[in-house]
């Protein structure tokens, strides 16, 4: 029988890389009896970091689902990567979790990764508790870390515990909720409960009083009792704290050492007793806006939050049962594509180990395999259910590379492999750019893309190269030019004749009509690549029939898609057709189209041609001590610093940087800051390329075009 919804706890472990999540999970599993021996990073045998590449690197790169049974309840635990490159794993895990456990390194304090993860906690409105981990570290400073948490995340962050001593002598935790002291044996494990020493009673009682007040604030009956008696029973305290935690009125702070297995059992006990079940959380809204109740007797509604592909197995789908009771043999419908999926088997997961079960009830997390047409973000439902679970919204990419293969015949195989990879990892985007004539990968960082490359080569046997992506420059003009072009061709039989007189000038919104010309007709074409083509028909007296207007415009557009300077798209240009000639027999659309193309090309070269480059708004979050190095590097990238502001304990640098200067910036920033900085980027606008750079780009393009011919 599956666990009832009220007996489920779904927990996601978050933390900056190096905070110790993986070893903390090992302690949780060991304390619960789920495993009989704790693994180590060095031994490459932890339950959550089970892939070969994670074991080789010694870091979590994927989210991993595990579970423990604790006093009649089931606690599902999702361990997540600490690197911001793999934020997609974090977001998908937060989507299905009911409680976040933020692990903070006692030696490093609140780090930039902690701050960024907090943004997602706030976005999902997830109840959260903090664990100050590694208090056994020789540089651990519990009080400083506690102060940083409260300073950055506010007074709702309340300590429930504190260590009597940090560093190598750590073995004792004072628990202000239960008003008891836990003394751990040297090798960790089950602690001995002792009375709090007289010297610590005052501090512990003051902390306990804060907890009682926080519990009473959320329930009128508890508040009345608190005013009358000044205290609450253990049962009342549990009830009040459950409400407060579920509604994000408190963020409890605990301490532990995952490495020494000290403190994890108490934290699991707190999650078990006070952490919200799926039934305690606000009901999520469906795609049609109706609330989805976690009711085990309702029709089945299952959401896939993660997909991976395993050799010999195929697709492995991780899901949450939002409503109903899922059983093997259920026939469900994928609302995204209307395909039927038969659920052959369902499993609970312990990292790479999966155990078959007979059912999973509303609120539970599980795994199934070999779904044919279902992937991440899909909802599978019983027949008759018409609304799905709201999709996960993943962040925009921050880095791009061009990809190619050593063997040109492998390019189609590579495209197929990348498509499968995208279905597993929606934060990876694949673009076949006709403009740049390259296949581009867009990802969250260099580490993210390096991992994709490694997996493609190992799984699919395709040798894959990363190349510098071309820049999507734009071409425009800076002054007015007139041009006359005559197209005349006679090759026996019907000939071709067209003569076009045009004026070309820079376009901006609201500009006056052209001097000396009478505008008969105006067209404004919003270009797919940005900017505008203004096309004015200024023919007086019928020297060219207006029926050829579209042909001339088409000829101009043909050249605007591959501009005269570097073959880049043209933008923000006004064309005025003011005169010309036609022949009663030899003039046709093709002739005027060719004349339009050549007239535009010639006029462009005389109109002060200017190359534009994409400029990105870049936001960098870093510590004070590396700010000088980050700023210095930006100056070498033609960056304009737009401002600096403090955000929490960090400096936020705002800059505008040409895209051409941002290649491999992710790796450089990680190297400059030892991985303790994060950045995001977004297209701002296009600006003029400096003259010397434009000359080089035009010369390179012309040389390349000459070589091709």
CATH 3.40.50.920 fits 475-608, yes or no: no
CA-to-CA distance for 97 and 263, rounded, in angstroms? 22
Alpha helices, DSSP H only, in 394-505?
411-424, 446-460
Give the DSSP H/E element, type plus range, for residue 123: helix 112-124
Architecture of domain 611-692: 2-Layer Sandwich (3.30)
Q: Which long-range contacts (CB under 8 A, 24 or more apart) does 209-214 make?
A: 210/158, 211/158, 211/160, 211/176, 211/177, 211/237, 211/241, 212/237, 214/158, 214/240, 214/241, 214/244, 214/249, 214/250
> 161 near 176, Cβ under 8 Å?
yes
Task: Kindly write down the DSSP assignment for every residue of 302-340, as one continuous string.
Answer: EEEEEEEEETTTEEEEEEEEEESEE-TT-EEEETTT--E
* pLDDT digit string, tens, across residues 394-435: 998 989 999 999 888 889 999 999 998 898 889 999 999 999
pLDDT band at 489 (very low <50, low <70, confident <90, very high): confident
Structure tokens at 315: 């697709």
CATH 3.40.50.2000 fits 8-280, yes or no: no
Non-local (6+) Cβ contacts of 395 within 8 A are 87, 88, 91, 427, 444, 680
pLDDT band at 493 (very low <50, low <70, confident <90, very high): low
Please give the class, per CATH, of domain 399-470.
alpha beta
CATH 2.40.30.10 fits 301-381, yes or no: yes
* pLDDT digit string, tens, across residues 308-320: 888 777 889 999 9
> 117 near 102, Cβ under 8 Å?
yes
pLDDT band at 708 (very low <50, low <70, confident <90, very high): low
Instruction: Judge whether 8-280 and 399-470 match in fold.
Output: no
Give the DSSP H/E element, type plus range, for residue 88: helix 87-96
Q: Which of 121, 109, 123, 116 is nearest to 151 (CA)?
A: 109
> 107 near 170, Cβ under 8 Å?
no
Q: Give the CA count within 13 Å in the CB-facing half-sphere of 311.
A: 7
* pLDDT digit string, tens, across residues 522-580: 999 999 999 999 999 999 888 999 999 999 999 999 999 999 999 999 999 999 999 99
* pLDDT digit string, tens, across residues 622-671: 988 999 999 999 999 999 999 999 887 789 999 999 999 999 898 899 89
Q: Is the pLDDT of residue 709 over 60?
A: no
> 257 near 163, Cβ under 8 Å?
no
* pLDDT digit string, tens, across residues 211-223: 988 888 877 777 7
> What does pTM read for this prediction?
0.87
Task: Kindly write down the DSSP assignment for every residue of 220-269, as one continuous string.
Answer: HHHHHHHHHHS---HHHHHHHHHHHHHTTS-EEEEE-BTTTTBSHHHHHH
If one counts every other C-beta atom within 10 angstroms of the C-beta of residue 382, the result is 17
Residue 30 has phi, psi (to 5 degrees) of -70, -45
pLDDT at site 351: 87
Question: What are the CA-CA distances from residue 410 to residues 123, 215, 416, 460, 469 (Å)?
Answer: 42, 62, 10, 10, 19
Domain segments of the chain as ranges: 8-280, 301-381, 399-470, 475-608, 611-692
E strands present in 54-156: 64-70, 73-79, 99-105, 128-133
Q: Is the pLDDT of residue 363 over 70?
A: yes
> 174 near 162, Cβ under 8 Å?
yes
């Amino acid at each position: 029988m599956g666990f009832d919804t009220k007996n489920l706890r779904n927990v996601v472990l978050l933390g900056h890389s190096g905070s110790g999540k993986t070893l903390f999970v090992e302690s949780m599993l060991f304390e619960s009896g789920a495993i009989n021996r704790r693994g180590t990073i060095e031994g490459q045998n932890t339950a959550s970091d089970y892939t070969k590449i994670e074991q080789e690197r010694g870091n979590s790169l994927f989210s991993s689902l595990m579970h423990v049974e604790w006093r009649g309840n089931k606690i599902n635990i999702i361990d997540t990567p600490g690197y911001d490159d793999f934020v997609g794993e974090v977001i998908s895990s937060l989507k299905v979790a009911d409680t976040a456990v933020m692990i903070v390194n006692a030696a490093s304090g609140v780090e930039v990764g902690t701050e960024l993860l907090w943004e997602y906690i706030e976005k999902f409105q997830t109840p959260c508790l903090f664990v100050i981990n590694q208090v056994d570290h020789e540089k651990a400073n519990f009080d400083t870390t506690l102060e940083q948490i409260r300073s950055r995340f506010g007074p709702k962050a309340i300590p429930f515990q504190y260590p009597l001593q940090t560093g190598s002598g750590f073995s004792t935790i004072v628990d202000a909720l239960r008003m008891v002291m836990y003394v751990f044996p040297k090798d960790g494990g089950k602690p001995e409960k002792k009375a709090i020493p007289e010297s610590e009673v005052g501090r512990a009682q003051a902390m306990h009083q804060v907890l009682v007040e926080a519990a009473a604030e959320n329930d009128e009956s508890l508040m009345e009792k608190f005013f009358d008696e000044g205290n609450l029973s253990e049962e009342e305290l549990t009830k009040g704290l459950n409400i407060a935690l579920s509604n994000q009125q408190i963020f409890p702070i605990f301490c532990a050492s995952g490495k020494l297995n000290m403190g994890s059992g108490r934290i699991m006990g707190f999650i078990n007793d006070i952490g919200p079940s799926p039934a305690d959380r606000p009901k999520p809204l469906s795609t049609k806006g109706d609330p989805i109740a976690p009711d085990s007797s309702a029709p089945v509604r299952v959401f896939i939050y993660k997909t991976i592909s395993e050799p010999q197995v195929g697709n492995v789908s991780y899901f949450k049962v939002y409503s109903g009771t899922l059983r093997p043999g259920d026939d469900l419908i994928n609302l995204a594509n209307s395909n039927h999926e038969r659920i052959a088997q369902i499993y609970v997961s312990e990292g790479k180990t999966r155990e078959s079960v007979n059912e999973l009830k509303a609120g539970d997390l599980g795994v199934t395999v070999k779904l044919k047409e279902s992937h991440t973000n899909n909802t599978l439902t019983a027949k008759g259910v018409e609304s799905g679970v709201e999709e996960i919204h993943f962040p925009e990419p921050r880095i791009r590379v061009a990809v190619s293969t050593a063997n040109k015949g492998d390019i189609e195989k590579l495209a197929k492999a990348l498509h499968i990879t995208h279905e597993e990892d929606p934060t990876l985007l694949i673009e076949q750019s006709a403009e740049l004539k390259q296949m581009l990968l867009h990802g969250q960082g260099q580490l993210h893309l390096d991992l994709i490359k490694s997996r493609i080569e190992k799984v699919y046997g395709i040798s894959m190269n990363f190349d510098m992506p071309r820049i999507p420059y734009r071409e425009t003009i800076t002054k007015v030019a007139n041009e006359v072009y005559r197209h005349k061709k006679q090759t026996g039989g019907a000939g071709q004749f067209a003569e076009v007189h045009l004026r070309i000038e820079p376009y901006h919104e609201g500009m006056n009509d052209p001097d000396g010309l009478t505008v008969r007709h105006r067209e404004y074409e919003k270009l797919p690549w940005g900017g505008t083509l203004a096309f004015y028909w200024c023919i007086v007296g019928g020297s060219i029939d207006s029926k050829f207007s579209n042909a001339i415009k088409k000829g101009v557009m043909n050249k605007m898609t591959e501009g005269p300077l570097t073959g880049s798209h043209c933008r923000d240009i006004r064309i005025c057709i003011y005169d010309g000639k036609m022949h009663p027999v030899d003039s046709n659309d093709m002739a005027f189209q060719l004349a339009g193309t050549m007239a535009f090309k010639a006029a462009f070269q005389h109109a002060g041609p200017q190359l534009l480059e994409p400029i990105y708004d870049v936001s960098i979050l870093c510590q004070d001590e590396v700010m000088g190095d980050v700023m210095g590097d930006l100056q070498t990238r033609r960056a304009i610093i737009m401002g600096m502001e403090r955000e929490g304990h960090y400096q936020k640098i705002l800059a505008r940087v040409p895209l051409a200067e941002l290649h491999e910036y992710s790796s450089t920033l990680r190297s400059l800051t030892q991985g303790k900085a994060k950045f995001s980027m977004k297209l701002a606008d296009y600006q003029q390329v400096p003259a010397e750079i434009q000359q080089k780009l035009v010369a390179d393009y012309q040389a390349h075009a000459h070589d091709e011919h």
